[in-house]
Structure 1
Amino acid sequence: MENNQTYHPTKTKLIVLGAGESGIGAAILGKQKGYEVFVSDGGAIKDIYKQELAVNNIPFEELQHSMDVILGADEIVKSPGIPEKADIMKQIRAKGIQVISEIEFAYRYSKESKIIAITGSNGKSTTTALTYDIFKRAGLDVAMVGNIGVSYAKQVATAPAEYYVIEISSFQLDDIITFKPNVAILLNITPDHLDRYEYKMENYVASKFRIAMNQTAEDYFVFCLDDPEIMEHLKAKPIISTLIPFTIMEPLKEGGFIENNQLKIQLKDGMEAEIVSMYDLALKGKHNLYNSMAAGIAGRTMNIRNEKVRESLVSFKSLEHRMEHVSTVRGVEFINDSKATNVNSLWFALESMESPVVLIMGGVDKGNDYNAVKELVQEKVKAIVCLGIDNKPIHDSLAEYVDVMEDTLSMKDAVEKAFKLAAKGDVVLLSPACASFDLFKNYEERGKQFKLAVREL
């Protein structure tokens, strides 16, 4: 199907691959817009999603892929979790069927809305939630969608909004064609998911920059001036949208910056630049200075007043599983940072610690390079409790930098061991730097089990 055709053909056959949150959303929106929809999942579909499909009279299959049906599709919406190298994708590509992401599909039916799209290797969820909070406090009709919760397509189908704040992964950006945010935010780029990008950093970087590929000069590209990967790519391949940088290194004529310990945002709108003292920000740590600036800039590009931005930045509550204070037990603080699924996230977590740390880490290692955290581990971590099936890479890289390193295979055991190793005034930090799929369904389940184990101490 050509991109410029109308999208209301008589019963176009739409196949949705993967029946997770985004797939179900795409199926519901497709059905609503008159497509003939079929959902196919090679694994088991959660009961809650089966109910949604049944209620909407959408046929589906699980634990298999009927290739004769799939290859008869006019268009396919693919789950971000399915890699190009999967056999099913090779067959689809050979047939020449157009494949899009749920983000692209939802965008077709929400072009009248203002779209703020946020990507980056770290800090996406926090910045998305903070941006949403700013827009909500300003009284705007806004929805928070994408990786962070409800699917964009489901929101468009069931409760369309005037503004969408979308958290987007590189996998979702890989399958866009026309998607164009009014404000694109690129927070940072550090090695992650390289297994999906032929282990080439430049492929991953290019994927992140797809967020701006359809933007025009009327749109905004908000980016971190202190990130070498971003700056190198921008020099090589300039983009045409209006650039708004943010930095903690120097004052800027235009953008977000720190001056005299004040977070300032200077745009061409002539509004006073000063927003808030950096010491009053609700979210602590250097990485959250960047997140706060990016969210504040997004608000200002949509003419939200400084006081509303300030109100949000000083009173925002951090997300579950992201540097979340769980409890203090006999003087030991427990922090849940289960969403830290890569080394860079662990670096940010350790960088913000001011007390000695007993670190719980481990899981599915995506080819992690732990060199980046060695210095911080040596400086701040007194013991590491490994939680995973294969902890060898952690032992090989970090054992010499801590006095104690122990292995565990359950969250309960990990929390109990960490508590024994901690003294009054220490922090037990769950910041795994790895994916969770060896022992848990996802990082949320890992974080919930951590909180449960802490409460049972």
Structure 2
Amino acid sequence: MNEKKLIAIIGAGESGTGAAILAKKQGYEVFVSDFGEIAEVYKRELSENSIQFEEKKHSEDTIFQAVEVIKSPGIADKAPIIKKLQARNIPVISEIEFAGRYTQAKMICITGSNGKSTTTLLTYHILKNAGLNVGLAGNIGKSFARQVAHENFECYVLEISSFMLDNMYQFKADVAVLLNITPDHLDRYDYKMENYIASKLRIVQNQQADDVFIYCEDDPETVAALKHCNLKSKDYPFSIQSKPVEGAYLDNNQLIINLKNQNQFTMSINELALQGKHNIYNSMASGIVAKVLELRNESIRESMGNFKNIEHRLEHVARISGIDFINDSKATNVNSTWYALESMTTDVVLILGGVDKGNDYNMLKDLVKSKVRSIVCLGKDNKRIHDAFEDDVDVIVNTFSAHEAVNMAYHMARKGDTVLLSPACASFDLFRNYEDRGNQFKKAVMEL
């Protein structure tokens, strides 16, 4: 291999495979290495593109010849291969960093602990319906690098996780959105909130005066962090507690967006497709993006009214014997579960549990006391859930499959109740991922 042109890619999922295809197109020698098993669809694609790859090992002699290494976001910096690369001063970057070099498209980048996927999809929906030549990528759908290799979009809406931000250096968001900062993935950040906050604030790095930053003025962690941030871009806050001069706010149940030199946008929150307090924030963020891009109010209003939310995010599955079943499997942290419970208007049988990422369940206590009839644990180790809520609900039971959890919840619920799967935990103890957990939940509900 030509040492000057070798790019090594660690991880061969959607992100890694997309990066490999783009690197090959840009004339690099490419070597893909995955310590686990590579899915057949990606092995076939790498072979068809004449890209060398390996699985179930890392051939360090080859990888260490690379001028640069692209790391899939799921691989932690503390992984042995990454530590060895860093010790050799071989640059390790994200797929987003790499792909950003090869497109002139406008970058609309959305991050936050909660609401990223919903806001990203809503923003994409608004822009696409307005006729923009727009791509959707990042932590969602087809990889950004794959699309840069094959498509010619004029702008991208990117869902950016903290894991992606950690290995971004020169990449710049033209429009950056930070929805909120709440404890999540602290296992990846040495259990230090300040490390996680620093990661999220990388969304504004490299921004200049003609770029835009959109953030929630009601989020205390964001506001506190911004006091120590040398922000160069034009900022637009959104709030339901105050009325910023420029940005978005509520006035008598009207969502208002004010930007200088533009017609004011107004829309009743009752007409929004996304209901619930947390979704008002998501709609505000997306609406500001649309106004920054100078889209017509009528077009924005229509899109915000007809948007269909994503699977596994407060997804209504069925009503059986007067009991509603809601799939919120994408709620993999405590704050997401808080939002789900906050939006409930009935008594709840709550299905919780999975791989605990260092959760602090205290923030759920008041909502559990006021809304939750009983808790069904779905996970291998449920001790921390029992410890947290044993004084707040009458019944907590353990289950070890979606089928068992659904049946137990169905028998515990009463007519008019909601059975809510909102686990507050990752899914990897019993399921492949949160989609698998949500799909098994839905299948079990339909079998009742």
Tell me the TM-score range normalised by the shorter chain: over 0.9
1:425 maps to: 416
**Partner letter of residue 151 of structure 1?**
S
Moved more, 81-90 or 200-209: 81-90
For 1:277 and 1:391, the matched residues in 2 are separated by 42
**Partner letter of residue 420 of structure 1?**
H
Give the CA deviation at 1:252: 2.0
1:299 maps to: 290
Give the CA deviation at 1:10: 9.1
Determine if contact 1:358/1:429 at 8 Å carries over to the other structure: yes
For 1:84 and 1:106, the matched residues in 2 are separated by 20
Equivalent residue in structure 2 for 1:186, among 178, 183, 187: 178
Give the CA deviation at 1:270: 2.5
- Residues 162-201 of structure 1: pairs in structure 2 closer than 5 A: 162-201=154-193
- Residues 12-23 of structure 1: pairs in structure 2 closer than 5 A: 12-23=5-16
1:113 maps to: 105
TM-score of the superposition, structure 2-length normalised? 0.98
Moved more, 398-407 or 341-350: 398-407
- Residues 225-244 of structure 1: pairs in structure 2 closer than 5 A: 225-244=217-236
Give the CA deviation at 1:329: 0.9
1:456 maps to: 447
Asked whether 1:74 is paired with 2:74, we answer no
Equivalent residue in structure 1 for 2:434, among 443, 452, 455: 443
- Residues 29-178 of structure 1: pairs in structure 2 closer than 5 A: 29-110=22-103, 112-178=104-170
Give the CA deviation at 1:11: 6.0
For 2:297 and 2:375, the matched residues in 1 are separated by 43
Secondary structure of the structure 1 residue equivalent to 2:391: helix
Determine if contact 2:376/2:408 at 8 Å carries over to the other structure: yes
Asked whether 1:286 is paired with 2:277, we answer yes
Determine if contact 1:141/1:162 at 8 Å carries over to the other structure: yes
Determine if contact 2:3/2:66 at 8 Å carries over to the other structure: no
Give the CA deviation at 1:269: 2.6
1:219 maps to: 211
Determine if contact 1:10/1:35 at 8 Å carries over to the other structure: no
Q: Please list every run of 5 or more consecutive structure 1 residues that lacks an aligned counterpart in the other structure.
A: 1-8
For 1:357 and 1:169, the matched residues in 2 are separated by 30
**Partner letter of residue 448 of structure 1?**
N
- Residues 331-410 of structure 1: pairs in structure 2 closer than 5 A: 331-410=322-401
Give the CA deviation at 1:348: 0.1
2:201 maps to: 209
Determine if contact 2:3/2:67 at 8 Å carries over to the other structure: no
The C-alpha deviation readout for 1:35-55, integer Å capped at 9, x for no partner, is 100100000001111111111
**Partner letter of residue 340 of structure 1?**
A
Aligned length: 447
Determine if contact 1:183/1:219 at 8 Å carries over to the other structure: yes
Determine if contact 2:402/2:444 at 8 Å carries over to the other structure: yes
Determine if contact 2:3/2:65 at 8 Å carries over to the other structure: no
Equivalent residue in structure 1 for 2:407, among 403, 416, 428: 416
Give the CA deviation at 1:29: 0.4
Secondary structure of the structure 2 residue equivalent to 1:236: coil
Determine if contact 1:99/1:175 at 8 Å carries over to the other structure: yes
For 1:74 and 1:269, the matched residues in 2 are separated by 47
Give the CA deviation at 1:272: 2.2
**Partner letter of residue 228 of structure 2?**
A
**Partner letter of residue 51 of structure 2?**
I
**Partner letter of residue 378 of structure 1?**
K
Determine if contact 2:123/2:290 at 8 Å carries over to the other structure: yes
For 2:300 and 2:201, the matched residues in 1 are separated by 27
**Partner letter of residue 277 of structure 1?**
S
For 2:374 and 2:45, the matched residues in 1 are separated by 46
Give the CA deviation at 1:149: 1.3
Secondary structure of the structure 2 residue equivalent to 1:401: coil
TM-score of the superposition, structure 1-length normalised? 0.97
For 2:229 and 2:131, the matched residues in 1 are separated by 38
**Partner letter of residue 59 of structure 1?**
Q
Secondary structure of the structure 2 residue equivalent to 1:374: helix
Determine if contact 1:11/1:36 at 8 Å carries over to the other structure: no
For 1:160 and 1:405, the matched residues in 2 are separated by 53
Determine if contact 1:253/1:266 at 8 Å carries over to the other structure: yes
Please report the RMSD computed on the Cα atoms of aligned residues, expressed in angstroms: 1.0
Secondary structure of the structure 1 residue equivalent to 2:126: helix
Give the CA deviation at 1:303: 0.8
The list of structure 1 runs, each at least 4 consecutive aligned residues, that deviate by more than 4 angstroms after superposition, is none
For 1:429 and 1:148, the matched residues in 2 are separated by 24
Give the CA deviation at 1:314: 1.1
For 2:136 and 2:156, the matched residues in 1 are separated by 6
The C-alpha deviation readout for 1:228-270, integer Å capped at 9, x for no partner, is 1111111122311001100001222100110121001101133
Q: Percent identity?
A: 60
Determine if contact 1:43/1:62 at 8 Å carries over to the other structure: yes
Secondary structure of the structure 2 residue equivalent to 1:239: coil
